[in-house]
Chains A and B, each alone.
Chain A
Amino acid sequence: EPEVTQTPSHQVTQMGQEVILRCVPISNHLYFYWYRQILGQKVEFLVSFYNNEISEKSEIFDDQFSVERPDGSNFTLKIRSTKLEDSAMYFCASSEVDASTEAFFGQGTRLTVV
Chain B
Amino acid sequence: GQSLEQPSEVTAVEGAIVQINCTYQTSGFYGLSWYQQHDGGAPTFLSYNALDGLEETGRFSSFLSRSDSYGYLLLQELQMKDSASYFCAVRDRRDDKIIFGKGTRLHILP
Contacts and interface: CB of A to CB of B under 8 A. Distances in A.
Contacts, number: 60
B96 interface: yes
Interface residues of A, number: 25
B25 to A, nearest CB: 16
9 contacts: A42-B103, A43-B43, A48-B97, A56-B95, A91-B42, A99-B95, A99-B97, A103-B45, A107-B41
B96 A106 contact: no
Contact of A107 (B33, B42, B96, B103): B42
B1 to A, nearest CB: 11
Contacts of B60: none
Interface residues of B, number: 23
Nearest to B103: A42
Interface of A: 31, 33, 35, 41-45, 48, 50, 55-56, 58, 91, 98-108
Interface in B48-107: 48, 50, 87, 91, 95-103
Contacts of B30: 99-100
B98 A31 contact: no
A101 B47 CA distance: 9
Contacts of A43: 35, 37, 43, 87, 100, 103
Contact of A45 (B37, B44, B98, B101): B98
B90 to A, nearest CB: 10
Nearest to B95: A56
A11 to B, nearest CB: 16
A50 B96 contact: yes
A105 B35 CA distance: 10
Given A44-B100, A48-B96, A99 B91 contact: yes
